[in-house]
Amino acid sequence: MGIFDRLKTVISSNMNDLISKAENPEKMLNQMIVDMNQQLIDSKKAVAMAIADEKRLERELIENKAQAGDWEKKAMLAVRAGRDDLAKEALLRKQEHESYVGQLGTQWQAQKDSVEKLKESLRQLQSKIEEASRKKNILIARAKRAEAQEKINQTMSSLAGNKSAFDTFDRMAKKVDELEARTEAQKELDDSTSGASLDKQFAALEASPEAADNLLEDLKRRMLTSDAGQVDEKNP
C-alpha cells in the first residue's frame, strides 16, 4: 500500500469515526482539515525521502561511470607500459563498474519515475485539501442554517401540540379586554362626575353674597320708588 493509499485510508477512517459519533459538524470539519494537513505533512516527508533516494542513486551512477572511465584509462596506461597483466586487471575493474552502472541506471530510472508520480499525487492531494478548506466554511454555514431551522421546527411542533399554551394566551387576551373596558367605564364615570361638580360650582357662584347684594339694592330702589309715589298721592 502506497503512502497516498494509506493517507486515504486514514482520512476515511477518521471521517467515519467522527460521523459515527455524531459530533458537531463544525468541529468535525475543522478536525478533518487538521488531520488532512497532518497527513499531508507526513506524505511530504515520505516524498522527500524518495527524492533523496533518487539523488543518492544518481550520484552512485555518476561515480561508477567515472570510475569505469578511470579504470579504462589505467588499462591503456598499462598497455603502453607493456604491462598487459595490469591492463587485464584494470579492464576487469572497469567491467565491474560498468555492470553496476547498468543496475544503478535501471534502479535510478525507476526511482525517478516513481518520484515524479509521487510529486504529482502530492500536488493533487494538496489541491484537494485546499479546496476542502475553502468549502469548509460553506458547509459550516449550511449546517448552522439547518440546525437553526430544526430548532424552529421543533419549537413550532411543540407549540402546536401544546394547546394549553394557546388557551392561556386566549384567557390573557380576555382579561386584557375586560381591563380596558373597566378603564374606559371609569373614565366615562369620572367625566360625568366632573360635569355635575362644575354645575354645582356655578350654582354656588350665583348664590354668592355679591348676587344677594345686587338683589337687595334692586329691592331698595323699587321700594324708594314705591314710597315716593305714595307721598305724592297724599299731597296733591
Q: Quick: pLDDT tens for 109-158.
A: 999 999 999 999 999 988 988 888 888 888 888 878 887 888 888 877 77
CA distances from 39 to 34, 43, 48, 129, 165 (A): 9, 6, 14, 10, 54
Residue 194: what pLDDT?
Answer: 57
pLDDT, position 202: 61
- What's the mean pLDDT when you consider all of the chain? 79
- Taking only the tens place, the pLDDT of each residue in 16-57 is 554 445 467 778 888 888 888 888 898 899 999 999 999 999
- CA–CA separation, 160 vs 154, rounded Å? 10
Q: How many CB atoms lie within 10 A of CB 43?
A: 20
The three cell numbers locating residue 219: 329691592
**pTM for the model:** 0.51
Sign of the alpha-carbon dihedral angle for 139, 143, 149, 150: positive
Instruction: Work out the average pLDDT over 91-109.
Output: 94
What is the per-residue pLDDT across 147-164, written as a single tens digit (0 to 9) for each? Answer: 788 888 887 777 666 566
